[in-house]
Amino acid sequence: MSLWDAMGLANKRVLILHHDDLGVTHAQNQAYLSLKRPSGSVMAPSVWATGLVGIAGADLGVHVTLTSEWAAPKLRPISTAPSLRDSAGFFWPTLNQAWGHIDANEAAIEIGAQIEAVRRMGIEPTHLDAHMGVVFRPDIAARFVALATELGMPVAAASNLDELPVPEEFKSLLTDIRERADLPQIEIIDSYEAPATRRREWYVDRLSRLGPGVYHVLHHAQKDTEEGRQLGDWEKRLADLQALSDPVVMTVLDEFVPLTYAEIGYAMRHYGEG
């Protein structure tokens, strides 16, 4: 019997609405609070990560961060691992640069350091995921999954790897890691590539067409503030907030059975994995 069967979710439309990049700006945190949807993940190296301490009912994970893509804010590793740093001491700015330089063992050390940093903030993480898919390099993925398994934390294991921007040579190796770890399968849906001007329509159309299954719909909603506009993609983030606050989109979201990673973790401990 699968985990979803054990949880009574078979043949249902199930949704984890997941707020990525929490902590990167105060504007991002404020959007999370205003939407009142529990699931999201925290970028431990970010200056505003501590702004999420003490939120009741939160379903917060660690958004494993091994890149620093923005001109501001720039992010540094928590650990001293040298392979994670560019010449200025920050994380590598692009995914390809990160994959070209990072030592997998040092990545595992940094991931552990980020988990402990979130715990020191008074947040007990319910799950792990990763910024920019940086853990999709198979040797990093193996350590990421092993650490999550050791800690008893669920990860967002994509059932739809073929649809994600992952190098072809990685896909079979990642599928093997996913299956050997017997991870619960979740379809990942990312709003990011949808045009900001049509984000509302994208949510209504994309979600309305989904059949039975368990879906992790990720977004990057943030408030429109001067501080938030330091991110180059702020318009897309604002569009997520506006769309997810829209009554029509909210009605579509409410047609799904809501799910949290805390509930998945509980079920994994009591019913077995995957």
Say whether 154 sits in a helix, a strand or coil: coil
Question: Token match 């640069």: residue?
Answer: 97
Could you give the CA distance from residue 233 to residue 133 in angstroms, rounded to a whole number? 18
Helix (H) or strand (E) holding 16: strand 13-22
First vs last Cα of the chain: how many Å apart?
9
Known catalytic residues are: 20, 220
Number of helices and strands in the chain (H, E): 10, 8
Q: In whole angstroms, how far apart are CA 176 and each of 150, 181, 185?
A: 18, 8, 13
CB 41 within 8 A of CB 61: yes
Helix (H) or strand (E) holding 188: strand 185-190
The CA distance from 59 to 191, in Å, is 20
